[in-house]
Structures are given as structure tokens and as C-alpha cells.
Amino acid sequence: MAKAKTSAFFCQNCGYESSKWMGQCPACREWNTFVEELVDRKALSTSGKIKPVTEAKPVPLSAIKTSDEERISTSMPELDRVLGGGVVKGSLVLVGGDPGIGKSTLLLQVCRNLSGQNLSVLYVSGEESLQQIKLRAERIGTFSDHLELLCETSLDTIRTVIERNKPQIVVIDSIQTMYNENVSSAPGSVSQVRESTGVLMQIAKGMDISIFIVGHVTKEGVVAGPRVLEHMVDTVLYFEGDRHESYRILRGVKNRFGSTNEIGVFEMRTEGLVEVENPSEYMLSGKPKDASGSVVACSIEGTRPILLEIQALICHSYFNNPRRTATGTDFNRVNLLMAVLEKRIGMQLSDCDAYVNIAGGIRMNEPAIDLGIVLAIMSSKLDLTIDEKTICFGEVGLSGEVRGVSMAEQRVAEAAKLGFEVCILPKVSLPSVGKKYAMKLIGVANVREALDAIQA
């Protein structure tokens, strides 16, 4: 009997299914995201029998034994940190990023390192030919024979190869090119991406194989396809950065086996991606001397303190609506902090254009950089130069108070290691830091005291 094919409409953003086209998705509230796809409505097989309910037995929580996940090191400490310590066996990892950002290069380097540990690795490419992969591999370095390449888009063929060769690591590049014959829609559609990921998840869990999936992103910066894709996988990693710049940030968005606050910093070179062991030194390179509107702040990403330069430019506006721009941080947060300065210390900013930038192309949203943004705005508005050996951190509230932040001692230790001599920090954090560092610590309780500290 022929398969019953029906037409359905799917939301490309969240995967919501509807029998008719709708302008706005009722699930994710996005507009004009529905596309029509053919769907096979297979009748359920009557040969299979439902298991008796008595076979499913709940287990008490106290009777469950736990053990540490067996992890495989990728020989790339930056990547291992983001993954939570290494690759977990049987895990499904999704790597997303803009085109040309370095996703395939990163995973090919991971394959080289893992195959060098005598692990069997299978690299499946649906976008490039074997010759193209070979050219990139020659630029990266020497590869072991434990790495095998396969150019294929049929998921049934890929599953057969995996079941026959039984590799320990599999890389799928990319999920949007995979084609499941049981789904009649085109590759890259909502149905294909969802069903293909479901098959790969069964392979990973059933055969205890670690699988990396490359996913393209939309213009909004999220992985293309249904939102359920990120819920199915164990780990979601995003590769950030400008493709025209040399530095890349690998950020964990979801991780069932570790923290989601860690980041890895890489530099793109001719021979591939090189790890940046000291991101703070890179972020501060090229910092201008004796220039107003520039200050160094300290942020925490996971367990790693990162020093970064915050720049602000405040100038008089000749238009009715002043222009406000924020790069690398939250735009609304900058507006809020400027309102605090106007209310609490009477600094006139309503008739000024304001441009705030975090140098280096990195994006930070931690509240601890509030004090850095405030000091940079003060410095530019009053044309004050903040000493280049001064660092600051602290959260600023609506009353103008400077609130304490976590891991204050680690931040001061990182600043002392890089040669900073003065640290402006919340007054409530002074007891936790102590006097073990050869730095002048200035505790401030509000933004007025912070202004006095840079004017002294």
C-alpha cells in the first residue's frame, strides 16, 4: 500500500505544526515563519505488542548508584573547559556559529587530536568533498589513520557505516545537509532536521558513541531549524566572533555534564585555531595611554576572571534625540546607568550622544562591569584620564550604590598578576579580599565616591 502523504505547515523557528498557514506562530509568536512540507502519515504497526505495565518498575532514588562520567580529553584545554572536562561517551554535542567562523576547522582539529590517541573517529561531511577536506587537513597538520572520512548525506547510509565500523567519535557536518528517507521534505527543513537529530541521538545513546553535530545559524544568531533541536542534544556550543577578526569565542549555552558559564578563546591562524591561554592580556593589548573614557574592568566567565577594556565616548548632541550605542554589552543597561548618573550625581547626559564599547570584540553581560561602564562615562564626560594601572569592578544599583559581586578575591588576584596597582571595588567586598596583594584597594559605596576616587 502506498504511503499516505499529507501536507502540513511547520514553524521554522520552533517546529510548531499546523494544518493551515498562519501569519503568526501561536507557540513562539514569530511572524511569517510557516512553511509547507509533505509529511508521511504511517499507520502504526499492529505486529508490535504493548509491554505490560508490570514490566515498568520505578526505582527509589536511594537505590540509584552514580559514578563520574567517563570523559575523553580533546588535548585542547580551552575546549575541554567549555565541555566540562572533556567529551562524555554517548553524548550528543551541537556546535553552532556563523558561516566561515571556524566550526569545521575546530572539529577537524578535535578529530586529529582524538585519532592521535588511537581512538577511531569518523568525519561525515555533507557539504565538502574528500579533496576539500584533505586540503584543509594538510594545512592543520598530520593526521592518524584512525581518522576516516565519509562524504554522504543519506542518514540510512551513515547509520549503516556507523553500525559496521563502530567508531568512538562521529562528526556530522552539517545537520542541515542530512537526508532521512522516511521524511519526504527537503534537506534542511524543519521535519528533516528534527527527525535526523532524533536518529543520531538514538545512535549516540544506543551505541555509546560521542557525536558532534554542526548546525548553521540564522541571521538572528540561533541554530537554524526547530527550537526543539537544542532541547534534544546534551550540549550546545556557540562559536562567536567576527569572521574578519582573528579571535573567536566558544561559549557553552547548554551542558548536561558541566557548567554553561565557561568560555574558550581561540585565535584563527593559517595552521588552524590556536588556543589563547591568557585572554586578559589579549583584551588589553593596544589600550590607549592618557586617553579619557577608557578604563579596565574585571568580569568572570565561569571560573575564569577576564580583564577587559571598556571605552565610552560622550559628546554634545546637535539633534533632538541623542544617539546611544552599546557594543559588547546590553544597550538597555547602559541607558539605565546613565540615568543613575543623572539622578544621583547631577551629571547632565540627556543632551549628549553616548557610545559605549567593550574592546576586543567580546560580549559581556555580567553586572560586575557596571562600575567600569560608569567610570568610563564619567571619564569621557569630564575629560578625566584614569590611570592605566587602575582596575575596577562592581554592580551599580538604581540608588547609585555599588553592590558587592562574587569571587572578588579571584578578580584582584588576576589584576595583581598582570601588574595593576590600584583597584576600585565595592566597599562590602574589601573584607573578603584582605591585604595579601600588593595593590591599593579603594572601596566605594556609591557612584559619587567612585567619582571622587578617579578625581583624586
Residue spans of the domains in the chain: they are 5-40, 70-277, 282-455
Q: What DSSP designation does 70 have?
A: -
Q: What is the pLDDT of residue 51?
A: 46
- The reported pLDDT for the residue numbered 48 is 40
Helices (H), ranges, 166-271: 190-207, 228-232
User: Looking at residue 420, what is its pLDDT?
Assistant: 93
Asked if residue 102 belongs to a known ligand binding site, the reply is yes
* Residues paired with residue 316 on neighbouring β-strands, in sequence order: 352
99 is in an annotated binding site: yes
List b or e across 283-292, with b for residues whose CB sees 16 or more CB atoms inside 10 angstroms.
bbeeeeeeeb
Q: What distance in Å separates the CA atoms of residue 54 and residue 118, rounded to the nearest whole number?
A: 45
* 104 is an annotated ligand-binding site residue: yes
Q: What pLDDT does 223 receive?
A: 64
Q: Mean pLDDT in runs of 10 for the chain (456 residues)?
A: 66 82 88 79 42 68 78 92 92 89 92 94 93 91 91 93 94 90 80 88 93 81 66 90 76 88 86 86 81 93 88 92 93 96 94 92 89 97 93 96 94 91 95 86 95 90
Check residue 345 and give its pLDDT.
94
Q: Known binder of ligand: residue 98? A: yes
Domain 70-277 belongs to what topology? Answer: Rossmann fold (3.40.50)
CA distances from 195 to 41, 273, 393, 444 (A): 14, 32, 47, 56
According to DSSP, the residues that pair with 443 across neighbouring strands are 425
Q: Which residues pair with 263 in a beta bridge?
A: 251
Residue with cell 551542558: 255
Q: Is 140 annotated as a binding residue?
A: no
Strand order in the sheet with 17-18: 17-18, 5-11, 34-40
The 3-state DSSP class for residue 236 equals strand
Q: What is the pTM of this model?
A: 0.76
Report the distance separating Cα 132 and Cα 243, nearest Å: 20
As given in the structure block, the three cell numbers for residue 370 are 557596571
- pLDDT score recorded for residue 220: 61
Q: How far apart are CA 289 and CA 308, in angstroms?
A: 15
pLDDT at 329: 94
CB 273 within 8 A of CB 103: no
Q: What is the pLDDT of residue 5?
A: 61
Hey, what's the cell of 394? 562592581
* Distance of alpha carbon 327 from alpha carbon 441, whole angstroms: 29
Which CATH code, of 3.30.230.10, 3.30.565.10, 3.40.190.10, 2.60.40.1930, is assigned to 282-455?
3.30.230.10
Output the pLDDT for position 227: 67
**What pLDDT is recorded for position 301?**
83
- Asked if CATH classification 2.20.28 holds for the domain at 5-40, the reply, yes or no, is yes
Gap between the Cα atoms of 398 and 234, Å rounded: 38
Whole-angstrom distance, CA of residue 415 vs CA of residue 421: 8
- The answer to whether 241 is annotated as binding is no
Please answer whether residues 438 and 432 qualify as being in contact, where contact means their C-beta atoms are separated by less than 8 angstroms.
no
pLDDT at 170: 96
> Within 13 Å and on the Cβ side, how many CA atoms surround 131?
0
Q: Give the contacts of 269 (CB within 8 A, at least 6 positions apart).
A: 246
CB 44 within 8 A of CB 225: no
List residues bridging with 402 in a β-sheet: 396
Q: What is the pLDDT of residue 188?
A: 79
